[in-house]
A and B are shown apart, each in its own frame.
Chain A
Amino acid sequence: MRGVVGWGVHLPHRRLDRTQIASVAGGGGGKGTRTVASYDEDSTTMAVAAARAAVRGVDEPVRGLWLATTSPTYVDKSNATAVHAALRLDRSTPAFDAVGSVRSTVGALFAAIAGRCGVLVTASDVRVGRPGGPDEAAGGDAAAAVFLGDGDGAPVLAEVVGVASATEEFLDRWRVPGALGQAGIEADTVDALVVAGLHERACASVAKKSGVAPDRILDRMAGSVGNPGAAQPLLLLAAALEKAQPGQTIVLLVLADGADAVVLRTTEALATYRPQRTVEAQVASGAPVAYGRYLAWRGLLPVEPPRRPEPARPSASAAGRTADWKFGLTTAEGVLADQRGTVTTFTIDKLAYSPSPPVVFAVVDFDDGERLPVELTDVDADEVQIGMRVEMTFRRLFTADGIANYFWKARPLRDNGASGAGGEV
């Protein structure tokens, strides 16, 4: 039996209120919010966050890793290798990019389904559109990961019953294909239908014509998250799995350059699985970001930087020698990346260089007794307090000479106790 043995989702902390857009851009925007990747997040760092949630507590070694994205940091060098390093995976585990189109996610998922042992599929996108345009308003930033296995280690939570595909060349995003029938499944046996795709009207149309009852069609979270492109299929699948009961049928249908379908059947093991941090809890948390700051973060509004030298790019050989530290946040005493800590003291630096000043910096004492002076993120300067509980998150500190400098930061533990295994006990 091959199927899903774990999943994880990362929604960025910040939310853009779409009603803010028109007054600045002269038009566009709309209702509700979209998720916004922080200035120190990219498709790679968000994939790390989702992947860590997917594998934590799952007793299954990762034997293969995929990273699907339309917004890669690098186009020649692999991005999945940074995810591999941050997850501290074994050197013999291959890591591949599936880059360039929304459909890449399905390609990676199909490869994992056809594979053996534990294969982790991550999908991550930072969706950017021109100010005032529909892509900006409708898009969202997110990452999701699905961990597939054979049930030899961790139990299968949702078995893959079948897959189907139709490929069609069409020079736009929204041609409605007629491919659901290929999956060989009757509409009235579907407990949850997930329709993902960049064109909302096409998705709605396909869902309506599917024959599946409207209350069994999964909400695409357009009003709260937006459409996170390559991450959307796995994000919605994760949301469906979180709502599902054992013994149900879930259909994932992805509309992109044709159509692809995956049919899953949940197992009894699903009843005892607790996701690290549920989609619902992450949608409910978060904090606003002003439209001007959002534009600055995406490089669409160049703002005056602090009058300090910009940082130099990291040395490749130095970073290579300290990869366990830089990517894995591991010391001689242990792995700090997976620990929580407490802010012992902190400061707000309005003078230091940062892609988004001010720098919020804290001395963090970890629960195992180690200490790390480290930058905080996903936090407003006025909400930091001594005694605040924090967790570690993999981030892009800055970019210099086209080189992304990845390292770890601490961020406040937010939804305490609200999301199963992710909360504090």
Chain B
Amino acid sequence: MASHGIRDRVAIVGMGCTRFAEHFDKSADDLMREATAEAFTGAGVTKDDVDAYWLGTAQSGMSGITLARPLQLEGKPVTRVENYCATGSEALRQAAYAVASGAYDVAMAVGVEKVKDSGYQGLNAFPIPNDGTQRSLTAAAMFSMVAPAYAKRYGVGEDEMRTVLARIASKNHANGARNPKAQFRREMSVEQICGMPAVAGGLSVFDCAGVADGSAAAVVVRAEDAHRYTDKPLLIKALSFVAGNGSGLEDPGYDYTHFPEVATSAADAYAQAGVTDPRAELAMAEVHDCFTPTELVLMEDLGFSARGTAWKEILAGIFDRDGELPVNPDGGLKSFGHPVGASGLRMLYEAWLQLRGEAPEDRRISTFGQRSLALTHNLGGYPGEMVSFVGIVGTP
């Protein structure tokens, strides 16, 4: 038994992504048609050239018909997948494996979420019948417990911690402000963010991901076929996934300063890709900054910073767009927005633009031209009970 991965066997040859926003005038169907059209055009294919489809959506539709109907697919296999907030990455994983297996020549992964139609704030899970003893906290409150735990363990003062978290949000707002597809396009200073009222633990709404509608899509083919579709494909180096067993919630040893599922999936991804020093080898990373403390801890779980040091490196600008390792150069969940099923593919879309030199000058990463690997990290669930995806792509 081993996790072998499919390094360099599958290529991404076309991608699409809608703007993430409160699309009150667009349906999930509209968003999927828009994202897939851009991906089809980029890869120079039609919907009929794609042999199989994977649709990731957490709760905007059920079954493959959710995609087959708006695209009017004829006799195509379409699989709907769901894996919490890592749903979009899960769709990519399945499509890539299907191509790598030889079952299909061309596959498409599509992610979509129509969040704003619910009329409620934030994200809401479907109520699955249960015994009524489940926690009813918001995700914001669950993740808010990370900040004081981290501060206590590593001796970070309360005000200093507030500044670190605001620095993360401010960086992501600065990146999103330069991105026409991002939900929030206004820069926010550290001082402004620190002044916002708390809504969950010490977190304000400016520590939370934007709640948006959107869709993204990717066309994948066997690596040896990639040049039939594009001169600038991206090769999949690693796809790793861990579903936690929830034991962290009941483990008195768990201290809310790290996410074991993330560290495990990262180690597996690095092994698949042959990466030994991610901070030096990666050109950029898109990480799941659902809340600002999450991005802080991820810098350590993904091996970018030593334990207990990420907060200092964030303040030093290491992960800024012009820093040593740009993180969330597209604005991240914070600023680009988080339509659940689409987010994993949106992260990949930024890697697609940046590594291939298609990101505009004013938000190009500092490492462009020097490094050729990008990491996407996508998680779902809560501290102690989460799923985690880590993917690595690179130019040939």
- Residues on A facing B (Cβ under 8 Å): 306-309, 311-315, 318-319, 321-322, 325-326, 344-354, 359, 361, 363, 365, 369-373, 375, 386, 397, 405-407
Contacts and interface: CB of A to CB of B under 8 A. Distances in A.
Nearest to A351: B138
Contacts of B200: 347-351
B137 A319 contact: no
A307 B133 contact: no
B252 interface: yes
* 3 closest Cβ pairs, A-B complex: A314-B132, A349-B141, A312-B127
Contact of B140 (A345, A351, A405): A351
B102 interface: no
6 contacts: A309-B118, A312-B129, A347-B201, A352-B137, A369-B252, A371-B249
B201 A348 contact: yes
A319 B199 CA distance: 32
Given A348-B201, A349-B137, A308 B131 contact: no
B153 to A, nearest CB: 11
A369 B198 CA distance: 32
Contacts of A321: 131
Interface in B121-168: 121-122, 124, 127, 129-133, 135-138, 140-142, 144-145, 148-149, 152
B145 to A, nearest CB: 5
B133 A407 contact: yes
Interface string B340-364: 0000000000000000000000000
A351 B132 contact: no
A406 B122 CA distance: 26
A291 to B, nearest CB: 26
A370 B131 contact: no
A396 to B, nearest CB: 10
Contacts of A306: 121
Nearest to A313: B132
B132 A407 contact: yes
Contacts of B384: 373
Nearest to A309: B124
B131 A347 contact: no
Contacts of B231: none
Q: Is the interface of B mostly helix, strand, loop or mixed?
A: loop
B209 to A, nearest CB: 13
Contacts of B141: 347-349, 351-352, 359, 361
B24 interface: no
Contact of A311 (B136, B137, B138, B199): B136
Interface string B197-211: 011110000000000
Contacts of A372: 250
Contacts of A312: 127, 129
A353 B250 CA distance: 24
Nearest to B208: A351
B145 A345 contact: yes
B251 interface: yes
B130 A353 contact: no
B314 to A, nearest CB: 22
A346 B105 CA distance: 51
B53 interface: no
Contacts of B201: 347-349
Contacts of B130: 314-315, 318
A326 B131 contact: yes
Given A346-B145, A351-B121, A370 B252 contact: yes
A381 to B, nearest CB: 11
A306 B140 CA distance: 14
Most buried by B among A313, A373, A375: A373
Nearest to B382: A373
B138 A349 contact: yes
Contact of A325 (B118, B131, B152, B250): B131
Contact of A370 (B121, B129, B198, B250): B250
B148 to A, nearest CB: 6
Given A325-B131, A371-B250, A347 B145 contact: yes
A397 B149 CA distance: 27
Interface string B246-266: 000111101010000000000
A350 B199 CA distance: 5
A308 B124 contact: yes
Interface string B110-125: 0000000010111010
Interface in B201-258: 201, 249-252, 254, 256
B121 A318 contact: no
A313 B137 CA distance: 17
A312 B129 CA distance: 8
A182 B197 CA distance: 67
B194 to A, nearest CB: 18
Given A314-B131, A369-B252, 10 more contacts: A308-B124, A314-B130, A322-B131, A322-B133, A326-B131, A347-B141, A349-B137, A350-B200, A351-B121, A386-B148
Nearest to A325: B133
Contacts of A406: 132
Contacts of A371: 249-252, 254
A311 B129 CA distance: 11
Contacts of A322: 131, 133
Contact of B132 (A319, A350, A365, A369): A319
B349 to A, nearest CB: 29
B120 to A, nearest CB: 6
B252 A359 contact: no
Given A349-B200, A353-B136, A359-B136, A319 B145 contact: no
A42 to B, nearest CB: 15
A351 B122 contact: yes
A373 B249 contact: yes
A388 to B, nearest CB: 14
A239 B365 CA distance: 75
Contacts of A309: 118, 120, 124, 127
B14 to A, nearest CB: 38
